């Protein structure tokens, strides 16, 4: 938990953000500024600032399995995933997250 991290605060429940899916490793919530009909963020519970700070190999596996699970639950058959790393690449929130963007196809 990082005190000045907005995603840590969301995970902590400070803003009452609804989780589309969650498990022991991660939470998933809707992006506040969606760039696709369905735009979700898959976010590890542990604070890792970016891919450059990642040390836990297993965590990435959990995050990708989370992407798959939430896509299934949301009815996304096709979707794009994106990880921005570093300011110049467009990273705004320095708590690792995977964008999942697509169009709902069922549910």
Binding site for ligand AMP (CB under 6 A): 6, 29, 31-33, 41, 84, 90-93
For the CB of residue 69, give the shortest distance to Zn ion in the complex, in Å.
22
Q: Which does 85 bind (CB under 5 to 8 A by kind): Zn ion, ligand AMP, none?
A: none
The interface mask with Zn ion, positions 82-101, x = CB under 5 A, is: -------------x------
Q: Does 8 bind Zn ion (CB under 5 A)?
A: yes
Q: Which residues pair with 38 in a beta bridge?
A: 102
DSSP string, 16-71: -PPPSEE-SSEEEEE-SS-SSSEEEEEEESS---SGGG---HHHHHHHHHHHHHHH
39 is annotated as an active-site residue: no
Q: Which does 16 bind (CB under 5 to 8 A by kind): ligand AMP, Zn ion, none?
A: none
Token digits of residue 75: 């009815």
**H or E element: which one contains 92?**
none
Name the residues annotated as catalytic.
97
């Amino acid at each position: 938990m990082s005190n000045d991290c907005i995603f840590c605060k969301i995970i902590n429940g400070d803003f009452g953000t609804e989780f589309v899916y969650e498990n022991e490793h991660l939470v998933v919530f809707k992006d506040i500024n969606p760039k696709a009909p369905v735009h979700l963020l898959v976010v590890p519970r542990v604070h890792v600032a970016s891919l450059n700070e990642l040390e836990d190999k297993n965590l990435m596996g959990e995050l990708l399995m989370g992407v798959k699970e939430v896509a299934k639950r949301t009815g996304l058959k096709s979707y794009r995933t994106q990880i921005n790393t570093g300011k110049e690449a467009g990273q705004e929130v320095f708590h690792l997250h995977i964008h999942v963007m697509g169009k709902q196809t069922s549910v």
